Structure formats: C-alpha cells, structure tokens
Amino acid sequence: MISKKSIPQAVFLSLMVCWATLHAQQQVVAHVLDVSGEWRLHGAAGKLAAGQALAAGAAIDAVSNHPGDVLTILRDDDMSRQRMACDTSAANPCRNPMVVQAPASERSSGFVQLKGMLQAAVGVLLSKPPAIGSHYAMTLSRGTESVLELEGVAALDPAQGVVLPAPPADVAAGPYTLSIVRTGEEQPAQPVKQTARLTSEGDWRPIALDAAGVYEITIRNAQEESVANLMVLVTAPGEFQDKQERFEALKAHADTWTGAGARDDEHLLLRAFLLSESRP
C-alpha cells in the first residue's frame, strides 16, 4: 500500500520518466537531405521537405508510394546516409515506414564542428534556393549528358585574378568559355561570359572576379558543348584557408557514401554547404 508521504515522490518520479521519454522522442537526430514524391511523418498532415529536422523515433510514411519516389536522410551523429526508394516489387521497402533511430552512442568532441556544418548546410534547403535548381536539372539528365557537377572554394584576388578549383584529370587542356552567375538564395542575375584556359598541368589560368560570394559557372569547350557545372565559393584571402578546410572535411565524409544516388546526394550537400558558408 502506498503511503500518503510517498505519493508526491511517486508522482514526481512518474513525471520525470514522462519528461525523459518525451525529450528522447523530440531529440533531433537527423535531417532530410532530399525527397521526391509525397512523404509524411506518421500522424502528421504536412509533407516532408528537404532540410526538415527529424526526431529520434519518428516514423516516415511513403504516402504516394510511386516508383521513383525517394527519401534520403542524414544522421547528425555520424553523417551516415539512409535512403529509401519505392519500386513495384513485392519487396517494395516503402510498404513499411522509415524509422529514425536514436544514436547508439555519443560521438567524439571532434565531430561537433562537422555536425554544426552539416546542420547549417541541410538547413539551407528549407528555403528552396534557386541556386540548387541546376543540381536537380543535372540529376534528371544523368545518362543523357556527360556534364560534370563540381564544387569548390577559391580565394578572391581582384589584382591577379581568381584561380578556380582544378577539374578532374580527364578534362582536356585548352580554351573554354565560362558562363558566370553570382548566385545565392535569391534569383540569380544574368550570366557573364569569359574565356578561360586550362593548362596542361590541369590548372586554370586566373579569371576576373571582383567580389566574394557564391558563383555558378557553366563551362563549355571550343565546340560550345557543356562539359561541367561548377559552384564555387569565392572568399576573402584571409578566410580562404578556413573555408577550404571546412569544405574538404565535409567532402571527405560525403565521399564515403555508397549505393544508389550517393554522388548526387554528395553534390547536393556540398552545394548547400557553400551557400550556407556565404551567409553573413
């Protein structure tokens, strides 16, 4: 039999258990990187969107469940990638909800900065920036065109010119036409054309850019064929090393992703990161 004196303590303990359970359920442990089709949190009315935070224990339903519907989430604790793609088979994974698991253990303190970078980058996607549009256009055209998707960081030098990040080794040396747009989260301006040369050593000759910011550059060869689309964050010289190191740290983790759509997801994350780094 419970005494009167023990009732307040029992109530207190019950409340603490309820609070701890609710806190665990509301703990944000992942974010949506990319979504196509209609997906919803179980019991919720709104559609799931890229950039949306996800709590531990959340169940996500594939509402439309059409072939080609895809959901990709990134875990905040280790930057691992979880992907579900609907199909017409009897084993269609979308018949069951995707459940967001709680982290198995605490990560090292060295991962805290990377976690913050990841959350800031994916958070950019909530505003659906126009600068991400070209990524989706290239994703849809995979297999019909051989246009490389590239990202990087460069230092501003109005006097000597900006040296763009080097392209892959299989891009041929020679003259190219660059169609340059200073972009961001607002509607971009009209492109400006410049000529550029890729040396036999695989490096770009400096080009003229007079302001820091995020630029989207379409690279065309002498036959006016598009060979690459580059998003580059141009920084003040004093910020270049820090921004470059942050970019390379995120890229090193994304490079480890495997499976269907891994490289598309990597480009999406890196482009979102460059946009987040350009914010004041």
Q: Does residue 70 share a domain with residue 35?
A: yes
pTM: 0.85
- Domain range for 74: 13-107
Q: pLDDT tens digits for 231-242?
A: 999 999 999 999
Count: domains in the chain: 2
Residue length, the chain? 280
Q: Does residue 178 share a domain with residue 97?
A: no
Q: pLDDT tens digits for 67-118?
A: 999 999 999 988 999 999 999 999 999 999 999 998 876 665 567 778 889 9
Bigger pLDDT: 183 vs 150: 150
Q: How far apart are CA 144 and CA 150, in angstroms?
A: 18
Q: Does residue 158 share a domain with residue 96?
A: no
When pLDDT is cut at 50, 70 and 90, the band that residue 129 belongs to is confident
Q: Does residue 134 share a domain with residue 82?
A: no
Q: pLDDT tens digits for 153-179?
A: 999 999 999 999 999 999 999 999 999
Q: Does residue 210 share a domain with residue 101?
A: no
Instruction: Decide the pairing of beta strands 70-75 and 81-85.
Output: antiparallel
Q: Within a domain: residue 1? A: no
Question: Do residues 270 and 232 touch, judged by C-beta distance below 8 A?
Answer: no
- Residue 21 Cα distances to 25, 27, 43, 271, angstroms: 6, 10, 18, 36
Tell me: pLDDT of 11 over 60. no
Q: Within a domain: residue 223? A: yes
Enumerate residues 6+ apart whose C-beta is below 8 A from 164: 152, 154, 196, 204, 207, 217, 230, 232
Q: How far apart are CA 210 and CA 212, in angstroms?
A: 7
Q: Does residue 244 share a domain with residue 135?
A: yes
Q: Does residue 241 share a domain with residue 147?
A: yes
